[in-house]
Chain A
């Protein structure tokens, strides 16, 4: 068992914190509210859905130019573990106003435009808008709505909040009134110092948390602690703690491992490190596979996308995870690593049964490789939910075909929400291959869905609806291929 050593070091607003005692399951929200009495950050749901606990977390990230930049992202403090905070800067709502009480422009705009009523969601909304304000000087309504996807407000109907966001953008970051602008360089320097160079272990015996510094360290830790819980973005694991009250010790926090956050692009395709968040993967995935972008934008809200990882979405094997179906349709492979080496397998083979994946306890998901889409291949992914944004899929269909002349030559179709695992629609594929790419073919192939799937009825959708919508998504794919409008879009531009 690992020896206790080191501490978790981070900056909270203007204060440097070094914790040598941290429970593996201690959340940032409880730390803020109970230990630091920073009660501006609220608990609304304790599951990362309402955004009342939104704070910004700054971290050093690859800036794409062989350097590092200090990146501030909104996260849900309720499902963020303190153990994952090493070398970060946590910014709460208390940090925004000046010491004389003068409000920050984002706060002032919320007041001026009547953006609060009961006020309970407001600190979280202020923090989400602050995150947007830092990076976007002229946000479109689409961008504002995207920044607010992870924040629920039950009073205002959001209209005044959106107006406030537009108004706040007119005032740009300045060291005079903006605390993050003021301290960017000093904070970056301190975080550099805090970055772990060797494994941090806190807590006795099994009741410990471990923060490996690199993948080799992670492999060693897992070899020694096969019962460990690997925690990347904690958008799933967080709920095991807050809702199911499951122990996660020994908890291994991997969000600081730089090697797992790489994205490599080559002619052959994209290699995405398992620790790459949805937000970080957005640009690479959406430029290589345009249909991927709008899909990623509908996974959680910004807070979840800023924490949640593609690797975690795969490793946890949920039948309703949103990234596996499109990745399977694209022919992705997954690479697992342990102390004994690496192995690579087709992603679809990784999912064995409900809750059962092809991963040994000492292995971790290291990366995903997505082959480039050959010229002429058509690909699209469609997510269907009760509520358009920040909702878990009732079903999700990903389609990829290639044509030879007017006939379907290859077809890879995968669905989530239709079976106990993300699953290929092989009968549908067979019904398409070799046939003319026509509405008649599509209609004939729709029947094959009943061979491939027997979906369940639950609170997200009935079995009948899932089946009908799945069939119709194939029709949508066809109609869009032939240039017909077959999908609703709230905004033309999502920038």
Chain B
């Protein structure tokens, strides 16, 4: 890496490692940041609405859409047969996901037709006028149903295995088996799905869509229309939140908008109502984990065997890699001497579950921490003691091998946990809480410290690539484009910092431009926390290329050597001479130097053999830990999160303000997942929690009352990432497992901490109260 870039004194505005505000912050607060629904519509824009089915599993015998089409203002009604080339938008090319249901309904709310009308209101009204005749088929809604029904899978399962788990379980001095239910989660991005398709000349189509994956939208639209990818341009400047929910789930809306736009030669917008969005798009997978752990009297884990069965919904979508990642995190930060982990990606008659921040990792980790709890409560010990006993060891300690045979080479979990244990005063507070619980009848407290170790990289190795396009104009202003998308995480800001830092120019000289498939092709989704790792490096590479040309130009023009040319704040230093950056660039242009470059990056080192269950799927690990303290009301199960202390590892932070925002926000999102966010299907397979009135994400008053978040400032990525930083998007989501375990401890207090409460998630007040009752009966 170019050391001058990082080690020169930094006096520019907005270098790497500085606390810069989000690039759109002033527009967010003024209401002038444009989301897709805010862009002025082309004249004559039409509006679409989905026609949703209302059976969980059925054959469509007849679809009478005459009343739909007859409503004044309706321009067109689309069904599966109206897809010009293909009705398939399966992102994994398994051909299991239709744009519109064709003959068979596979989940309640699956769209079977679409209405295009002069206004959105008319389209929505018309969509309710269909008369569909069904022949009901048996449906399976949850994991247990699916298992009972034979366990049909949507995609091949994975097994990770090391040693002889079965044999060691038999031989272990102690052994425990259990089952945990882990609930799913709705993304609840504040901006729902939206796509605006604008037809162009010939077969051209421009689509503005709220997506984390413009390239896939491009390919899907091309596939459905039957045109080459080069006819389709997909743009997105910003999303109002994504969280994984806009990785594949925008395909449907973009495809329908494009099909209608092609057919009607008018711009077409699809913006589903929140309820339709929540019913028709996928969510975080819920899991049923069956675990079997062998351990000794000291609490050393000897062997673990577990099955992670997931509700995948009717199609594969991303369920393969999601359930894989669950297994990759079923060890969290612990060394299992013998282990066997199996996934079961089950088919259910529910919406197809998809990516969600953590991508299966959180579920893997929650299951793992349940195992730790089981061991601790069985032995009457503080779970933290069991955690410390079983942490991965140092490199080459013999305790550094994961269930997928990757060595943990950058382990800092012990350092993180010990520092946090001291700074949060864990031991004294725990003792005080145990004391409090002895004398408090109704209110009980709990405290827990849980660690996070999260693997960074797409486990599908080829996705770990990225591109950027950088231009310097003659006036010295810089145009930045890259394949990553902005969903609020501050990626655009961080990558702009990389460029400002590389050229040593103030960040306001860098123009951040909307992500578009026309500038950077063949991109991966902005997902897997990889955004700044990949795109930051690609932009860095583009800057490097331009800088090399500029240095060569300067050496020739000023008759010196390349070593004497350096980029210093807002200037280029050539020997002893300082030339303002803009002036220097102007001269380079006159000298016919190419001032534009396409940068590229691919993550080194990684490889993964799925069939063998072996490899190095992750470039590095991100670490963190949290201590949470809660109070519960043992009469109602209601609770409060009293205090949380976090110490989180982002390597050398590119932007501490943004990273702390990711940690705080990820924590509260994970807190919601584990506590109040409950997806509830009725016996007909209808999701009944499909709006914020019934689906409860955290409010300001749900965040920890005291919330101390620190970054581990001493940490540097052991690998050569951009500025030695680490990914931050997903790992913090798992920190609130500490809240779940603190709730669990408070419940356990009613049985003197000798019984594992086996609190399933989401740990709603109801689950907490029922666990209290169960333990009281046992005590």
Residues on A close to B: CB < 8 A? Answer: 30, 33, 37-47, 49-50, 52, 92-94, 96-97, 101, 103, 107-108, 110-112, 114-123, 126, 144-146, 148-149, 151-162, 242-243, 245, 384-392, 394, 458-462, 464-465, 468-469, 472-473, 475-476, 479, 484-488, 490
Contacts and interface: CB of A to CB of B under 8 A. Distances in A.
B132 interface: no
B549 to A, nearest CB: 36
B770 interface: yes
A370 B246 CA distance: 51
A112 B28 CA distance: 12
Contact of B705 (A47, A111, A119, A490): A490
A461 to B, nearest CB: 6
Contacts of A115: 29
B635 A119 contact: no
Contact of A472 (B35, B440, B636): B636
A157 B29 contact: no
Interface in B317-352: none
B33 interface: yes
Interface string B618-648: 0000000000000111011111100000000
B396 to A, nearest CB: 39
Nearest to B703: A158
B190 A158 contact: no
A114 B658 contact: yes
Given A47-B692, A387-B702, A475-B635, A110 B667 contact: no
Contacts of A394: 766
Contacts of B680: 458-459
Interface in B133-183: none
Nearest to B632: A488
A39 B34 contact: yes
A6 to B, nearest CB: 25
A46 B638 CA distance: 29
A421 to B, nearest CB: 20
Given A103-B29, A384-B765, 13 more contacts: A39-B34, A44-B191, A44-B274, A45-B691, A47-B692, A93-B31, A107-B26, A114-B21, A121-B190, A126-B29, A152-B692, A158-B668, A490-B640
A387 B699 CA distance: 8
B274 A46 contact: yes
A123 B29 contact: yes
Given A117-B665, A144-B700, A97 B30 contact: yes
A114 B637 contact: no
User: Which of B35, B441, B703 has the most A CB atoms < 10 Å from its CB?
Assistant: B703
B694 A459 contact: yes
Given A118-B488, A123-B29, A154 B669 contact: yes
B interface majority secondary structure: loop
Interface in B667-693: 667-669, 676, 678, 680, 688-689, 691-693
B367 to A, nearest CB: 23
A243 B631 contact: no
Contact of B633 (A156, A459, A487, A490): A487
B273 interface: yes
A126 B25 CA distance: 12
Nearest to A97: B30
Contacts of A385: 765
Contacts of B33: 119
Contact of A391 (B26, B243, B668, B696): B696
B190 A488 contact: no
A94 B702 CA distance: 30
Given A49-B693, A158-B699, A389-B701, A488 B31 contact: no
Interface string B17-37: 000011011111111111101
A119 B238 contact: yes
Contacts of B765: 384-386
B125 interface: yes
A39 B703 CA distance: 30
Nearest to B489: A117
A154 B700 contact: no
A490 B29 contact: no
A151 B707 CA distance: 20
A148 B691 CA distance: 19
Contact of B25 (A114, A487, A490): A114
B128 A117 contact: no
B490 interface: yes
A149 B699 contact: yes
B737 interface: no
A389 B28 contact: no
Contact of B31 (A40, A111, A459, A460): A40
B184 to A, nearest CB: 14
Interface string B263-277: 000000000011100
Given A44-B190, A45-B691, A118-B488, A148 B700 contact: yes
29 contacts: A39-B34, A40-B31, A43-B37, A44-B274, A93-B30, A94-B31, A110-B25, A110-B28, A111-B29, A114-B25, A115-B29, A116-B28, A118-B238, A118-B239, A120-B35, A120-B190, A120-B240, A122-B28, A122-B29, A152-B697, A158-B700, A384-B638, A386-B676, A386-B764, A387-B676, A389-B701, A459-B694, A465-B766, A479-B441
